[in-house]
Chain A
Amino acid sequence: MSRLRKDPRAERQERQVAAAGRRPRIDVGHREAKAASGRLRRDPWREWSASLVGESRRKRYDRSQRQMEHGNSARLTRARARDGVEATEISPGQPAVRVIDEPAFLVFAVITAAGGRLSRLDRQLLGAARLLADAGDGGGAAVAITAAFDPVTAKDLARSLGEAGADRVLSVPGDIHPSGTAAALRHHVEAFAPRHMLFAEDGDSADLARRLAVSLNEPLFAGVEHLTPRSAVRALRNGTREVALAPPLLMTLGEDRMKPYESGPCEARPLDIEVGPFGGDPAILSVEIIPGDPASLALSETDFVVSAGNGVSDFAAFGDLAAVLKATPGASRVVCDAGLMPRAAQVGASGTVLAADCYLALGISGAPQHLQGIAGCEHVIAVNTDLHAAMIERAGLAIVQDAQLVMPALVKLLAERQA
């Protein structure tokens, strides 16, 4: 997990003294550090102790697929190490940062990192870039390219980029429109000549990828479904055919196709490069961002849903709460059946299946069909009077309390914080 794996063969080779026609001789005095092979040494103890939960120290599967923050993991390791096994002694404190000083080649991953945070797809892109950078003999470097890399949040972002597998970070001007960004990207491509370049098949990244492809007159391998160092595969003709080839220069990646990088942190060293100002497209006269209004968004499009169930009786207050929380209101089936919320607001297998990041369930016990509807939500907060409700079990933050009482308290606290 943390230390680099030893490569005895390579070390031997390193120490050999060249002497033609004779048995190789080892130069015992040779102590020069060797470049990292790129493969990391696993630390099974640490993995084991990190996967223990609760007082009883039972093993459980970690389905979170999240890179444990290294601070946290160290803390957990210390706190939860089995008695008599000093896990901290095996890998104390900060894990070693993986450094690639002189990369053999570069793999670019263009990520969004909206708000200075890496999204799932960002991590998956970096995971794919890591995979390609470690392909074959390895020695490649994964370069995260982002427009969000501003000096204020730089430290946090750099750290999470490193954990997500980025060896280098390259910034592009945070142009408000992709046409300018595309020009900057082209500049980077010409300056660094990356072996591969990965984009998200989504939003502006998809637009950028195509602008760059046309600008470089390179083919684009769009919507990769499966990627190995040897081949990239994408679907064609409504998913009835697929085409496979060796990973080309330009690729776009769909969501949830590649695993994020899960081993020890990488360096995420910022690359300094002069990027001249790139004028935007002269045809674009004005650009204005209109933030999404969560209240009017479709449930399937929003990122944060606050949902009411049987435990909510005051729907006017619920509506107010949703507005001040800047969340999209949803409801359980019971509430929709009773006509207290519109049918379009129903969350669950027979209503809308959410793709939101966060779900705040007020007074919802969590019927199986309802839980199916929120299976994709990363963060679930439950407020319910029943300690044994399925929703309480599912939640990342579970509060056993009457939702009717929590709602006004939330509104009040929000008003205080915003004051």
Chain B
Amino acid sequence: MKTIVLLSDARNPVSGRQQLSRLEAQAIGLAAGLCEKPRGLHAGSGEDGVSAGLGHGLAGLDIIDLPATDDPLPALAGFIAKAMGGAGAPELILCGRRGEGGEETGLVPYRLAETLGLPILADAVAIRAGEIAGTLVVDQAMAKGARRRVTIKLPAIVTVHSLAPPPMPFAFGRMRRGEIRHHEPLERLGLPDTAARSDASAEERPHRARPKLMRQSGTASGGPNLHVGPEPDEAARLILDYLEANGIRRYGSS
């Protein structure tokens, strides 16, 4: 199944150089499991960062040359819409849960889905082709290790969760063999940029680290919780009652 992986303009936090975001590298890993020749798609300027995607398993990379300040969405939507109209249309579009470099709100996949009229699924940790042709089975990450297995009709957009398998290791030789095509942004599709509206009162400034709240334990029940030398059966009962009272687990029929 033909797969496109959207790549954003991530930066190394230490050096500030362009690099491939880890989530997108994981997305490439998932794509490579489905598709023999997954291709990357990036709209922006510079290819130093995204070309690493070739080293992580992409067969080719399409770059839409755009100034870094432009909203990439219309160009991406235009490119994908054109590709979907042609032969060998992409069936699956994978992206990280949240791209880097722009507003970093994670809205691009959703806006893309809206523009192209495609269904979207979030937080995939595993994907495989469905039994019926043209379907995809996606395992979505949920709390406490649960997974939601969704079968979806293709084409679709799927975002990848950080719990997905680690990316394929980077190989320079693969990157050297990969092919990069540059494109001019031809068609632009899509909604007006909503981000612009929020910019009016927005103030961008250097980040100030703010501590998170401390996670500390509390003894939930107020009574004396120290039991010295109870019978093992009594101890077991105390433990299970504590677990059930605090909603950790429910055992038995209740």
What residues of chain A have their CB less than 8 Å away from a CB belonging to chain B?
A: 62-66, 72, 75-76, 112, 114-115, 117, 120, 124, 176-179, 202-204, 206-207, 210-211, 213-215, 217-222, 225-226, 233, 235-246, 248, 255-259, 281-294, 297-298, 301-304, 325-327, 357-358, 360, 375-381, 383, 387, 392, 394-402, 405-406, 408-410, 412-414, 417-418
Task: State the Cβ distance, B248 to closest chain A Cβ, in Å.
Answer: 4
**Contacts A281-B119, A283-B152, A406-B236; is A289 near B248 (CB within 8 Å)?**
no
CB-based contact B150/A379 at 8 Å:
no
B143 with A213: CB separation less than 8 A = no
B142, B191, B206, B213: the one within 8 Å of A65 (CB)? B213
B101 — which chain A residues lie within 8 A by C-beta? 237
Interchain CB contact (< 8 A) of A210 among B106, B119, B141: B106
**Chain A contact residues: over half helix, strand or loop, or mixed?**
mixed
Q: Is the CB of A214 within 8 A of B242?
A: no
Which residues of chain B come closer than 8 Å to A286, judged between CB atoms? 149-151
A236 to B106, CA, bound (A): 12
Choose among A237, A394, A406 the residue that contacts B239 (Cβ–Cβ < 8 A): A406
Q: Using Cβ atoms and an 8 Å threshold, which residues of chain A touch B13?
A: 238-240
B227 touches A399 (CB 8 A): yes
Whether A284 contacts B110 in the complex (CB less than 8 A), given A304-B248, A414-B240, comes out as no
Asked whether B181 is an interface residue with its Cβ less than 8 Å from the other chain, the reply is: no
Known pairs A220-B105, A290-B148 / 8 extra A-B pairs, C-beta < 8 Å: A66-B220, A203-B143, A289-B147, A292-B144, A379-B248, A400-B228, A405-B232, A413-B236
Q: Smallest CB-CB separation from B215: which chain A residue?
A: A376
Residue on B nearest A215 in the bound complex, by CB: B114
- For the complex of A and B, list the 7 residue pairs with the smallest distance between their C-beta atoms, beginning with the closest: A64-B218, A292-B145, A283-B119, A417-B252, A238-B13, A409-B232, A409-B236
B227 and A410 within 8 A (CB): no
Say yes or no: A358 contacts B204, CB within 8 Å. no
Please measure, in the bound complex, the distance between the C-alpha atom of A213 and the C-alpha atom of B202, giving whole angstroms: 18
Contacts of A378 in B (CB 8 A): 215, 217-218
What is the CA–CA distance of A220 and B197 in the complex, to the nearest angstrom? 11
**Who on chain B is nearest to A235 by CB?**
B207
**What is the bound-complex CA distance between A117 and B110, given in angstroms?**
30
When each residue 54-93 of chain B gets 1 if its CB lies under 8 Å from chain A and 0 otherwise, what string results? 0000000000000000000000000000000000000000
**B249, CB-defined interface residue at 8 Å:** yes
- Select one of B122, B208, B214, B220 contacting A206, CB under 8 A: B122
